[in-house]
Amino acid sequence: MSEQQLLDAEEIAIPDISQLEIEDDKPVDNFQSEKQQRLLVEPLYTNSVLTTPFVAGANVGLFYSRKQEPLVPDAFISLNVQMPADWSQKQNRSYFVWEFGKAPEVAIEIVSNRKGKELGAKKEDYARVGIAYYAVFDPLQQIQETLQMNGALLRVYALTAGKYVEIESPFWLETVGIGLTLWTGTFEEQPGLWLRWCDVKGDVIPTGKELSERERQRAEREQQRAEQEQQRAEQERLRAENEQQRATRLAERLREMGVDPDTI
């Protein structure tokens, strides 16, 4: 199914989804995956880095056919679509391609075990749906014999003529206007290696907490500069005052000697 075929929802029959199971309520992700998913979604809404409107989500069903099981990417981005407002409606609680009128541009899978087939059947499914970019991140080194042939823990693919072609680092997603990078640091008090969005220069897109910390540090620097300026001003005032006192004492001594300081 090509993306062009999905563009106009009015031209395709809307499937009956009343019998579809869209939420299984099964907590199957590990802590690392859960945090990683959040790290891939929150910064996109905290920063103005994507063309609006857009929808970014994690662990949400991607339904592309009523007769096929949904794909459930660990994170995804879909540009030029609006998040449905009424979540009480079943068709608004998952990503139904026929409702949004298009497939997402980006899908990301975070490997947590050896059963996901991220580089096999799942990769083929994403290509068939028309996902422009597909990334596989293996932080727990579950599929090293497949993924780490060249020492990489991250593989990124671009859809070309209906097939995925691997792209090399730096992983810049041209048609989306954002990139992916590996980052070593601490997120939510957990140190480790994380997959993050980045700008064209490779700088990571900050989280809300990181932005707050940057703003706090900036405010502290501004406060320090203001205090330094105040100290310099006070020093200048004292210097000028000392100069004035010295001049006054000198004038008094000259007068005591019978010399008018104003004539000198």
Q: What does the DSSP assignment read for 151-181?
A: S-SEEEEEEETTEEEEEPSSEEETTTTEEEE
The per-residue pLDDT for 24 is: 55
The three-state secondary structure class of 19 is: coil
Give the global pTM: 0.76
The per-residue pLDDT for 10 is: 45
Kindly give the confidence (pLDDT) of every residue in the chain, 264 residues in length, as a single tens digit, with 9 standing for 90 and above.
Answer: 444 444 444 444 666 555 555 555 555 568 888 999 999 999 999 999 998 899 999 999 999 988 888 999 999 999 999 999 888 888 888 999 999 999 999 999 999 877 768 989 999 999 999 999 999 999 877 775 554 444 579 999 999 999 999 999 999 999 999 999 999 999 999 999 999 999 999 999 999 999 999 888 887 888 888 888 888 988 999 898 899 898 888 888 888 887 887 877
The per-residue pLDDT for 76 is: 98
Pairing of strands 95-96, 62-63: parallel
The per-residue pLDDT for 144 is: 58
